[in-house]
Amino acid sequence: RMGQRSGDWRGIGRKWNSYNEEQWLKLCVWASMRNQTLLRTVAGMTLYHQALDCHHTVQGNRECLLGRDEVWDPAACFTCLIAMQQYAYFNATQLEHTEWMFKMFPSSMKVAFIDSEDKGAQGDTDNVHAGQ
């Protein structure tokens, strides 16, 4: 199926060493979308961002101050907010994938992350769980 979308995929098949960086990136995105991971969820949710922009283009009230083209921002109406509790513990690959998602959805995706720190000396007496 990848060969149908891009002619440079034909004939490579399972010759994994023949793939270049761009092809590996496309393959990783395709695999992520197939496995219903966070990327697929965010990609679907951010379509609403595009729909709002399209709706504004077709039916927007340009007489309203916020409806003027130079002011209109669909992110003011909708933003996909993701909670990443494990962000502090991501390895280099996970951080790279997260950064790639920021580039893929620059104005429609935001991440909520509460900074973490190791439990202090009073952690046991404060009943902080060992895994926190």
pLDDT at 10 over 80: no
Q: For the chain, what is the HEC assignment?
A: CHHHHCHHHCCCCCCHHHCCHHHHHHHHHHHHHHCCCHHHHHHHHCHHHHHHHHHHHHHCCCCCHHHCCCCCCHHHCCCEEEECCCHHHCCHHHHHHHHHHHHHCCCCEEEECCCCCCCCCCCCCCCCCCCC
Chain centre to alpha carbon of residue 31: 15
The set of long-range contacts for 86-90, using a CB threshold of 8 Å and a minimum separation of 24, is 87/111, 87/113, 88/113, 88/115, 88/116
Model confidence at 4, pLDDT cuts 50, 70, 90, reads low
**110-123: pLDDT as tens digits:** 888 877 777 677 66
Chain centre to alpha carbon of residue 13: 28
Give the per-residue pLDDT at 130: 60
Residue listed under structure tokens 């992350």: 113
pLDDT at 3 over 60: no
Give the per-residue pLDDT at 77: 82
**69-108: pLDDT as tens digits:** 777 888 888 888 888 888 888 888 888 888 888 888 888 8
pTM above 0.75, yes or no: no
Give the span between the Cα atoms of 2 and 83, in whole angstroms. Answer: 32
Q: Which position has the higher pLDDT, 66 or 109? A: 109
**18-73: pLDDT as tens digits:** 888 888 888 777 776 555 678 888 888 888 888 888 888 888 777 877 677 777 88
